[in-house]
Amino acid sequence: MNPISPSSGMRIALSAWDAAGANPAQSPETQFKDFLVRSLAEVNAMQHEADRAVEQLATGGDISPAEVLTAVQKADLAFKMMLQIRNKLVQAYQEVQNIRV
């Protein structure tokens, strides 16, 4: 059996973390931004996939309801996760804004 490895998203995050810790000269913001943009694209792709699945089901395509509902649920979970990250970013921004100079 192959060893269980963390999912790709986690690996990216971890590698960004390692790079930031090991080599501060390398700008970690760019990597985090890339990661964020890629995550957004992934969430968007999931939403599109869910839309396509629903459309296929509604128009009598060869797809089982289980697949459609899973696609919708995955898109929902991914979106919620993205929303939480966005909330955290906004919260961090507001905290910085509240610092008295």
- Site for another protein, rule CB under 8 A: 1-10, 64, 66-67, 70, 73-74, 77-78, 80-81, 84-85, 87-88
Residue 38's closest CA among 16, 5, 66, 65? 16
Closer Cβ to another protein, 37 or 77, answer by number:
77
Nearer to another protein, 1 or 25 (CB): 1
Least Cβ distance, residue 8 to another protein (angstroms): 8
